[in-house]
Structure formats: structure tokens, C-alpha cells
Chains A and B, each alone.
Chain A
């Protein structure tokens, strides 16, 4: 528990550093006793999980922090055994159903039913429901999500679901309508800076505000990343200097270099090189949509106003295709090729315009 991220994680709703209003609302929600299903969504590193754990603590007390990992084996109707790890306390159960891949529907059905069908014995001292926390709901298959619909209503008396995902776009409408949606936005730069400063203060370190700002910008206000970066800076050099270079994640650097390669030359040979780099990114377990997003962000920096719109449009088109298809590399390369063609045409037109 010695990473700063883990060490200084707030454990109760009252101690949360940002979105305090929302925290207060959640507290009220718990206290009024009518607790609905929740759908917590927001970008990575905004503190969804922290918030959920705080909420659970508010619901059940400190006992919820005694966690254990359980290995469960579920037999699918096709007699195939699915191994899945769950994290559980006495009061809740956390599952990542997408670990089971295509069989996640079976996991949902079996696991939630067993939890939901067991009643709490002493409902006078405890809540009368257990909580099932499903993470990465946006990676659930449609089948599994449909399986969830009925379960949510049927076992309402004994079980509440908290769904956690990065976006609601992949959660089907029926589920969204059954849940109270809570959006956890990214903290602002100032908030990140204040968190960083307070953590450094607790560590007995002095963080220059310039560096704090630089870190929070580089991390894209992803608080987890920001804290890790800050700690990496600390390992790299202490005392801090204001213009210290902040370590970045390798894949982001790699994506940026790829984007630069695309902009600097547009030819089939370059496309081949880019393909090799894309393969490299994919084999390092970077999801294709994140690669696409990173590429677009970097490429847009090099585009003029009119081209920007076109590129954004094309990116949306190709990302949609990417979601529909199976082989990510085709779609990524198609986007790169399309961008190359557009960029080249644009540049040539610009040159022609300058000549005449």
C-alpha cells in the first residue's frame, strides 16, 4: 500500500477531494434509505471506483473494506467451465464479467442470481440488500446486458446493482433507464494540483506549483496518472525543480511519434512503416479505439481549420467501422491511409494556391 495512489485514497464520502456536492448527494441518497441501482460512468482516472467504495462504506460501515478474492467456477450450459475471479466482502460482490469473454451472459445470470436469491438474515441491523458491483459494463456483450434487465427488476428486494463503465454509449437503453446514472467527471486542473500538493505535503515533500500544473496537464487530469507521475518525478529527482521533465507513459509517446511519421510523409512505404507501429501498439494490449483516439488527437494538431473538421468526420466514420469489425488493424490502417490522402491533397492544393 505504498504507492501514493493507494496510500492517500479517500475512504469516506466526506473525505473526497472534488465533486463534493455530488458526494453530499450520495450521502443523502444512502441516508434516505431508498437506494436505487446505480450506473456510475466517467473517464478513467476520475475516481469512479473510489467513489463507489466510499458509498459502500457509507452503506455498510468499515466491514466493507475487508476484501477477499474468490475464484469461482461456473459451468455454462454448453458444459464449458468458466473461471472467474470475484472480489467480495460480507456485503458486496465485485465482478468483472467481461473477463469471461463471450460467455459473460452465463456469468451474469448465475452469479447474480446466487447472490440475489440469498436473503440477509439480520435485516434490522443491516441493509436488507446486498450490492453487486459490475465493472467494465461497456465491454459486456449485448446478450449479457439483456440478461441483466430482468434480473435487475426481479431481485430488487435483495440486491442492488452498481454498474461502472467509462461511457454509457455501449450500455443498452433499458439498463440505463433502470439505473440512476451518476457521472463522475474528471477533476479540473486546479483540483488535481491541490490533490497533488496535499499528498506531497503528507509525504513531507515540497511540490512547486509549476510542476504540479505541468503534471496535471500532462496527465490529462487523470488523477491516478497524475499521482503516479508525481511519484515517478519524486523517484527521478528530489528536491523537485519547476522545469523537471515529467515521465510519460511509453504508449503515448509512441502514438505521438506515429502521428508525426504520418504527417511527415505520405506514401505506401510510409504506410507500411505505420502499419508495423500500429501492430506494435496493438500487441502491447492498447485497445484500438484508444489508439485511434490518440492518433486523431495528435493529427489534429497538425491540421488547419477546414481539414480538422474533415479529419474528425473521417475518424468518426472509421471508428464506427472499427467497432463493427473484428480486425482492428485494417480499420486503423484505413484511417491512416485516408488521412494521408486527404492531407496530401490538402497540401498540394495549398501549394497550387500559393503558386497562382
Chain B
């Protein structure tokens, strides 16, 4: 009975703890009665009520049936609104008001109700029952309207027209045209429709009957005497043999969910945010937080308290205002978490709970772009008008992390789709949606579910979705549920066993239940810890991440303290050598990333706290590392992949050599990667240097000799002592030295490049950066040249380079240079090329005039020309006229002046 109490406590606390949900539930209940939407009412306190009833009913057997019937009725009443209106049973607002006697009464009423269903089946039978005789009369009634009916034998009866509906149902065959309308069918459409509705209702009732049986069975199993269990068991085995327990016991109500309450609540709240747009209900702002109402206040609010916990942040997100279409800010929710925590179940339960019809797309569906688009559109823009589930759709995209990026892009496009007519917002979104054909905005919630949140394809979605990460299921809750299940299935277990099962499966609900069913299927009626430990199922074959593996390798688990009464087995990590061996081998081989694992081992093993004065285990570890390195080499070079099976043993060896009870501090192995990149940069610097070294030196040095012999000394050699004076003032010996230095640097393709440090100082750096290649840290620094010296060298080098380039030019085309020189001096030198001279040339020197065809024209002496001797004198005069009115046109050539044009060679300057 202890467990019973425990369970009860939980149920009692429920009201206090989950006020939020209850509020939402109450709200919904209200809405149910008001709006009359045909959604499945969530009755949180069914079980509670039943439990309350239990002590009052010592006669379990009979009473139980009654209770079941009550339940059935209750469900039926909820699910078939039309019919439940017809009969006079109204569902009480709170089940607590039930009295046992009441229940019995209503049960009989229900029996009537179900009996009623037979009537439409046989509508032809003339009413013979006592109440019918009240209506069928042999002679015309004295008062009220009546109808005469004559049958085939000729006898006439009179029917009193009392209540329209009743007479219609009962005598529909007899009086086909009772309404005065002519029908083609023998049975009027109304009747047929009702018949069909009844049939469907019957189905619903049957189903709910089954469910209630299950439920009551479970409740009874837990609390009733074992004698009543026998029956249930038989029922269950016949029904449940073919079904997975996971299916069978999956939660159907919000309160049955095992996942973290906060997560559940968040998702539910998010889904409720859609109510405004989907159901057209105005969202009630909470009286407790009036400041949230004003949207303008929202933003400063967020800015003020910037540092909020994650929980608060999520709350904030949920409280945020709706957008212009009254949709929540995040159009999609993205649930993430490891498998078996109940993500899919949660999504389904909550969507149903909030009154949606669930449409699921998962990995087993075709998720190519077109199909995906089509399905999203169908799900979000259409609505089933036939059938019982006339509810808005809620799209659940399961296993989205496996979807192709194209599909996710389509989803994103759907989320971001803008309305064609941005401003107007219809009062009834559903109508608006119907009007729109293709460009309509998303008006239905989408819930995405994934295991790995950080798949590259999901990156854009992550920013636009309401993220919910699933925490681990609490083992106590899981164990409790397992206990219920095993009790119902007649397995004998205890909490310790179930806890160890939870531990083994890492709180994976699915895996736990499957393991239980497996054990059950093998005929085990009693499960204890040992069985759980020995059985090899239930362990998930998933890699746990490198850090976990390294931790397992380096940590020796302590033997867990024994629980009272029974011996409690150790965790898989501890225990005997063989067991540890197997465990680690399993872990290592399932991880598969041998390269990374061995890197991590190599980087961390020396910092483990192991007493190893003689370095024996270190040597052995290194031997193993060498072995695995060789193995790798053989595998990669010879494609001999069968040898890979020997790789995981490295981890096992390290465990036996270095495992310690302390929690190891493990760092991620970076050094190999860093070393590789450093080597690459060094190589690049060297090859840049080698690339431009002239061939005669290039033959003598290789990269290897450069690093080993030449470079260090070369760097010394190019740092001579220079007097800090102008190079013009150097002595001849110094000049010679300088020349040699520059020669050397040019020969080895070294140069100084001016660079600016972040502090704003200028420095000269040796280019290519070979200094880093040969200098080692911790050694005395070599002498460096001063900034001035480097500057001088750099300048001199530039000059030398120019000189050489010119020489090369000369060597390459000496002919042209000679040609130019042999051409002789230009007719006029620069200083003579003045404007007056040019003008003089043009004006004074008369050119033979030519006509249009280039023929010389004989000048006609119209005006007396200035004589040739006076021409000299009158030049200026001529010029004046020339500028003014002659046919010489002057134009200023911008950017070009003859005054400075002169050929100068580098050698003249340097």
C-alpha cells in the first residue's frame, strides 16, 4: 500500500503544482460547453474520481462494471454531442459531484440509449409497444391534428400528430410523405443520415468501451484485490498479445505524459497561442501580469532584464505578442532530444488535447521537395469537412533531422510566407484562408521533431522555430509507470529492478517497456535485478560521444552501495575485470572514431593520477599507441580493413593501465591538429622562399638542407652590424659589405616588408616568413637589426632590384636602345620647343598649299607678302596676328607637357 500512497500523493500535489495546466484545462472545458466544438474533452480527474470512489465500494465486482459504464457513458456523451443532447443526460461539470446511486441511474439510461440504436435498424416494424398505442388510434382523435393511415388490408388507423420528431422516426416507412414532400427513396434522407450517425456513434462507443476497459483495468489492477486481476489479465492477453506494450500503454492524456512537465507546459502554451487564429478565440491575458498586455511595453521590458535564465526566456517567448495575423511569433516548434523520451507522443497528445487533428509526416514518407510542399500545403490549408474529425489540422513533422535541405527550405518558405494583402486582417481567419488560393499565409501550427538539433540542414530552421530541448525522463516517474505496466501484465517486479532497468536503458521509455515485454514474452513472471543485468537486450547501441568514452576509460567506478535487503548489482562500468573489459570493448567499438579516440587517450593519459614511478605503464601505453599507429598505416595503405577489429583494444588497455577512481579532467585533443597546421604554414613559407630563388642556387639547396643547415645561419648573416648613418657616408668597406648583403638577400629571395603593428608602430618584417620556421621558443633571441638599418636595407634593395631589372631589359633588347641612339638627336631640343617657336614654325614657314585633292596650288599674289629678310624682324608681329586671326589653332593638351619629357635611366638616378 505504500506505493499506492505515493501515487496518491502525486495526484494530490498535482493541483498545486500544475496550476498552469489546470487553468488551461479549465479554460478548455469552459470552451467546450460554450462553443460546443466536438473536441475530446480532457478529463483530468477521471482517475481521481474513480479512486475516490473505490473505498466507497467494497463490492468491487458489480460496482466496477457500473463504474465502467459510467465512464463509457461519459465518454459517449462527450463524443456524440448531438445524441447526448437528445437524451436528457448532461455531463456534470465536475465528476466529483457524482454519487454512486446517480451513476447507476445514468448507467441504465445509457443502456436505454444504446438500445435506442436498434430502432433505426428496424424501422419497418409497426409500433406495438404500450407507448405506441397512445398515438395509434382506431378512430379519429377528439382533439389535435391527426393523420389517417390505410394499410394493404384496408384497415384504417388514425395517428395523432403530437411530436414531430417522434412520429417521423417511428412511422417513416408507413408514411413516407408525412412531411408533405415527395421523396424518391423509400427511407427519407433524414432517416438514413441519422442511421449512419448512429452507426458511427456505435463504433465510437465500442472504442471508448475498450479504452475504458483498459483504463479501469489498469486502475483496478493497481488497487483492487488480486482476485479481480485474473479476468483482466485474460482480457489483456487476448487483446494485447499482438500489440506492443509501447503502443498499448502510450499516454492518451496530457496528465499521463512522462516527459518533463516544464517542456510539456511550454509546448502546450505555444500551441494555445494559435487559438486566436485557428479557433478565433480571443486570448485572455492573465490578470496577474497586466504589463504584458501592452505590446509597446514589451520591448523595453526585454531590454531591462537582459540576463534571464533559460526558463524565463522561454516563458517570455511564450508571453510575447502575436503578430499582425494574430499568429505567435514562432510559427513552428522544434522538439529535440535523444530517442525514447516521448517527443512524438507528447506532440500527438498535446495536439489532440488542444483540439487539433494531427497530420504527421515522418521519415518513412517521401520527403522530396515537391511531395513535401504538397503535403505541407494540404495539411495547413485544408480541412476535412466530412467525418467525425472536423477539426483544424496540426502538422507534425517527425524526424526532421533526416529530411533533405530542400524540404526544410520549403518548410521555411511556408513559415515566412507573406500575405498578399498585408494590412487587412480578417476577423475570421478561417474564412480568409478559404478565400486565398495559393499565397495564403500559414495559419496552422507546425511541430517539428528531431533527435539532433545541430544537423546543418536544420540551421535556418533553428532560428525561426520555438526550440524545446527534451531533458532526461526522471527515472522515478519512469519506474513508477513501469511498475503499473508490469502489475497490469502480471509481472512481479520491485522498484530497485525497475530503477536498474531505467539506468541500463538511459531512461529510454520505449526501450524499457520493450525490454519488459520481451521478458514477459519469454514467460518470465518475476523479474529481478539479476535478470535485468544478465539479459542482453535493452542496451542501446548508440555512441555516447567521445568525452563519455574517455571518461569511461579513465574512470574506475566505485562499487555502488548495497541497497537494504537485496544485493544490488554494480553498474556495468565497475565489477570484475572481464566485465569491465567487455564493457569498454563494447563502448569503444560502438564509438568507431578510433583515430579521435586514440588522440584523446594520448593527450590525456599523462595527466592521469596513476602511481607509476618506473614509467612501466607509460611505456606499455606508448607501445600500444605505436601498435595502433602501425595498424592504421597498414589498414590505410593496404586497404586491409579487417585489421580494424583490433583497434578498439587500445581503449581497453588504457583503461586497465590508467583507470582511477577520481573523476578525470579530460581535455579535447587539439595538439595534433595544431601541429599539422603549423607544419603546413612552415612548409608554405619555405616553398615560397624556394620558388623564386634563381636556378643556380636552387640546385644546391633543398627544403631539407634549408631548414637543417642554411636558414638559421643565413638569418645571422643578413644581420650585420651597420653604422646608423646615411649609406652615402659609408666607407668603401661598408659599402662593399652592404652590397654583399643585398646580393645575398636577393639571391635567397628575402626582403623586408613594412608592416604596421596593431599598436600603430611600423616594423619591417622579413618576407617570406621563414623566421618562424627556424626560431625556437625559449632560446636566446638572435640579434635583430634596428628599424633604421632595415629601412636602409630595404631601400637599397629596391634600388638594386630596379637596377637589375633595367639591366635585364637592356640585355633582352639591346638593339632597340641602340636604334634609338643611332636615330640621332631630335630635330629640336626640348628647351627650344616653346610656344613661340612652334608658332613661328607654323606661321612663318610657309607650306605649299594644297587643294582638296592634295595637288599644289599656285599661290596668287593677292597681298604683298612680307619679304624673307624682314620675316625675321616681323616674326613677333606675325605671331600676334597668327594667334589672333590666322588659321593656326592652339589647343592645350591637358596632362601632357613637353617641358618635362625626357628619357631618364635608373642608372642615372642611382
A residues with CB within 8 A of B: 1-3, 5-6, 9, 44-45, 49-50, 53, 65, 67-69, 85, 87, 94, 96, 135-136, 222, 224-225, 228-229, 231-232, 235-236, 247-251, 253-254, 257, 266-269, 271-272, 275, 279-287, 290, 321, 324-327, 329-331, 333-334, 337-338, 340-341, 344-345
Q: Does B413 contact A (CB under 8 A)?
A: no
B774–A250 contact, CB under 8 A? yes
A325 vs B717: C-alpha distance in the bound complex, in angstroms?
A: 38
Residue of A nearest to B709 (CB): A225
Q: Given the known A-B contacts A250-B779, A334-B625, are A229 and B713 also in contact in the complex, defined by CB atoms under 8 Å? A: yes
Which stretch of B253-261, B414-422, B629-637, B833-841 is in the interface?
A: B629-637
Contacts A9-B700, A251-B774, A284-B682 given; does A341 touch B619 at CB 8 Å? yes
Given the complex, which residues of A lie within 8 Å of B368, measured CB to CB?
none
Within the complex, which residue of A2, A253, A279, A341 is in contact with B614, where a contact is CB–CB below 8 Å? A341
Contacts of B709 in A (CB 8 A): 44-45, 222, 224-225, 228, 249
Assuming the contacts A279-B671, A283-B678, A284-B776, asked whether A2 and B744 have C-beta atoms less than 8 A apart, the reply is yes
Q: Across the two chains, which residue of chain B brings its CB closest to A341? A: B615
Q: Which of A2, A250, A325, A338 touches B775 (beta carbons < 8 Å)?
A: A250
Report the bound CA distance from A248 to B691 in whole Å.
Answer: 26
Contacts of B672 in A (CB 8 A): 327, 329
User: Chain B 709-741, CB within 8 Å of chain A: the 1/0 string?
Assistant: 110111011011100000000000000000111
Q: Which residue of chain B lies nearest to A248 when distances are taken between CB atoms in the complex?
A: B712
Within the complex, the shortest CB–CB distance from B635 to chain A, in Å, comes to 11
A31 CB, min distance to chain B CBs, angstroms: 24
Q: Are A67 and B695 in contact (CB under 8 A)?
A: yes
* B residues in contact with A68, CB < 8 Å: 695
- Is the beta-carbon distance between A87 and B695 smaller than 8 angstroms? yes
Task: Give the contacts of B269-291 with A (CB-CB under 8 A).
Answer: none
Give the chain B neighbours of A340 by CB distance below 8 A. 615
Contacts of A87 in B (CB 8 A): 695, 698-699
- B678 contacts which chain A residues (CB < 8 A)? 283
8 nearest CB pairs, A to B: A2-B743, A67-B695, A334-B622, A228-B713, A283-B678, A341-B615, A232-B716, A325-B629
Q: B779, A253: Cβ atoms under 8 Å? A: yes
Partner of B682, one of A222, A267, A283: A283
Q: List 21 A-B contacts (CB under 8 A).
A: A6-B747, A49-B699, A67-B695, A85-B691, A94-B699, A225-B713, A229-B713, A236-B716, A249-B713, A250-B776, A251-B707, A253-B776, A253-B779, A254-B779, A268-B615, A271-B615, A283-B675, A325-B633, A326-B632, A331-B629, A337-B615
Contact, CB under 8 Å: A271 / B606: yes
Interface centre among B616, B697, B698, B709 (most CB of A within 10 A): B709
Which residues B38-81 have CB closer than 8 A to chain A? Answer: none
In contact, B683 and A6 (Cβ under 8 angstroms): no
B747 and A254 within 8 A (CB): no
- Docked CA distance A9–B697 (Å): 11
Asked if B703 is an interface residue, CB under 8 A from chain A, the answer is: yes
* B748 neighbours in A (Cβ, 8 Å): 3
In the complex with contacts A228-B714, A249-B713, A284-B773, A1-B697 CB distance below 8 A: yes
A236 to B782, CA, bound (A): 11
Q: Nearest chain-B residue to A233 (Cβ)?
A: B716
B contacts with A: majority SS:
helix
Which residues does chain A contribute within 8 Å of B546, judged by CB atoms? none
Q: Are A249 and B717 in contact (CB under 8 A)?
A: no
Of B629, B683, B721, chain A has the most CB atoms within 10 Å of the CB of B629
- Is residue B565 within 8 Å, beta carbon to beta carbon, of the partner chain? no
Closest Cβ–Cβ distance, residue B577 to chain A (whole Å): 24
Interchain CA distance A235-B717 in the complex, whole Å = 6
- Which residues of chain A come closer than 8 Å to B607, judged between CB atoms? 268, 272
The docked-state distance in angstroms from the alpha carbon of A43 to that of B166 is 118
Whether B622 pairs with A232 at a CB distance below 8 angstroms is no
Which residue of chain A lies nearest to B605 when distances are taken between CB atoms in the complex?
A: A268
Q: In the complex, A326→B704 CA distance in Å?
A: 19
CB of A251 within 8 A of CB of B776, answer yes
B17 at the interface (CB under 8 A from A): no
- What are the residues of chain B within 8 A of A269 when measuring CB–CB? 606
Measured CA separation A246–B377 after assembly (Å): 82
Residue of B nearest to A89 (CB): B695
Closest to B740 in A: A2
Interface membership of chain B positions 727-765, coded 1 if the CB is closer than 8 angstroms to chain A and 0 otherwise: 000000000000111011001100000000000000000
Q: Is the interface of A mostly helix, strand, loop or mixed?
A: helix
For B622, the chain A residues whose CB sits under 8 A away are 330, 333-334, 337-338
From known contacts A1-B696, A135-B702, A285-B703, infer whether A232 and B675 are also in contact, taking CB-CB under 8 Å. Answer: no
**A285 pairs with B696, CB closer than 8 A:** no
Taken together as a complex, chains A and B put the C-alpha atoms of A217 and B695 apart, in Å, by: 31
Residues in chain B near residue A271, CB distance under 8 A: 606, 615, 618
CB distance from B683 to the nearest CB of A (A): 6
Q: Which residues of B contact A45 (CB under 8 A)?
A: 705, 709
A136 to B773, CA, bound (A): 21
B406 CB to nearest A CB, Å: 30
Complex CA distance for A69 and B731, rounded to whole angstroms: 38
Known pairs A283-B678, A334-B626; A67 contacts B602 (CB<8 A): no
Q: What chain B residues lie within 8 Å of A222 (beta carbons)?
A: 709
* Chain A residues whose C-beta falls within 8 Å of the C-beta of B708 in the assembled complex: 44, 249, 251, 286, 290
Assembly CA distance A282 to B602 (angstroms): 17
Residues of A within 8 A of B606 (CB): 268-269, 271-272, 275
8 Å CB contact of A254 from B614, B714, B776: B776
Q: Please indicate the chain A residues that have their CB under 8 angstroms from the CB of B699 in the complex.
A: 49, 53, 67, 87, 94
**Residues on A with beta carbons closer than 8 Å to the beta carbon of B775:** 250
Contact present for A284 and B707 (CB under 8 Å): yes
Docked-complex contact A67 and B747, CB < 8 angstroms: no
Assess A67 versus B615: contact at CB under 8 Å? Given A272-B607, A330-B629.
Answer: no
Check if A6 sits within 8 Å of B619, measured CB to CB.
no
| A254: chain B residues within 8 A (beta carbon) | 776, 778-779
B777 cross-chain contacts in A, Cβ below 8 A: 280
Quick check: B696 and A67 within 8 Å, CB to CB? yes
Given contacts A68-B695, A284-B707, A324-B633, contact A1 B743 (CB under 8 A): yes
B679 at the interface (CB under 8 A from A): yes
Contacts of B707 in A (CB 8 A): 251, 284-286
Taken together as a complex, chains A and B put the C-alpha atoms of A330 and B712 apart, in Å, by 28
B773 & A285 in contact (Cβ 8 Å cutoff): yes
**A338:B619 contact, CB within 8 angstroms:** yes
| Cross-chain contact B602 with A69 (CB below 8 angstroms) | no
Interface centre among A50, A225, A249, A279 (most CB of B within 10 A): A249
Interface string of B828-846 (1 = CB under 8 A from A): 0000000000000000000
User: Are A231 and B633 interface neighbours, CB within 8 A?
Assistant: no
The contact of B623 among A135, A228, A334, by CB within 8 Å, is A334
A14 to chain B, nearest CB (A): 20
Q: Is the CB of A235 within 8 A of B719?
A: yes
Distance of B903 from chain A, by nearest CB (Å): 31
> Knowing A2-B740, A290-B708 touch, does A285 contact B683 (C-beta < 8 A)?
yes
Question: What chain A residues lie within 8 Å of B705 (beta carbons)?
Answer: 44-45, 224
Q: Which residue of B lies closest to A136 (CB)?
A: B702
> Is B318 among interface residues, defined by CB-CB distance under 8 A?
no
Task: Give A310 to B263 CA distance when docked, in angstroms.
Answer: 66
Chain B residue at minimum C-beta to C-beta distance from A275:
B606
| Alpha-carbon gap, A236 to B717, bound state (A) | 8
Asked whether, in the complex, the Cβ of A247 is within 8 Å of the Cβ of B716, the reply is yes
Would you give the shortest CB distance from B714 to chain A, in whole angstroms? 7
Q: How far is the CB of A252 from chain B (nearest CB, A)?
A: 9
Residues of chain A lying within 8 A (CB to CB) of residue B703? 285
Give a binary string over B17-44; 1 marks a CB under 8 Å from any A CB, 0 the rest.
0000000000000000000000000000
Tell me, in angstroms, the Cα distance from A334 to B188 when the chains sit together. 96
Q: How far is the CA of A222 from the CA of B777 in the complex (A)?
A: 26
- Which chain B residue has the least Cβ–Cβ distance from A246? B713
- The contact string, 1 if C-beta is below 8 Å from chain A, for chain B 674-699, is 01001100110010000100011111
Q: A6-B747, A224-B710, A228-B714 are in contact. Are A280 and B776 (CB under 8 A)?
A: yes
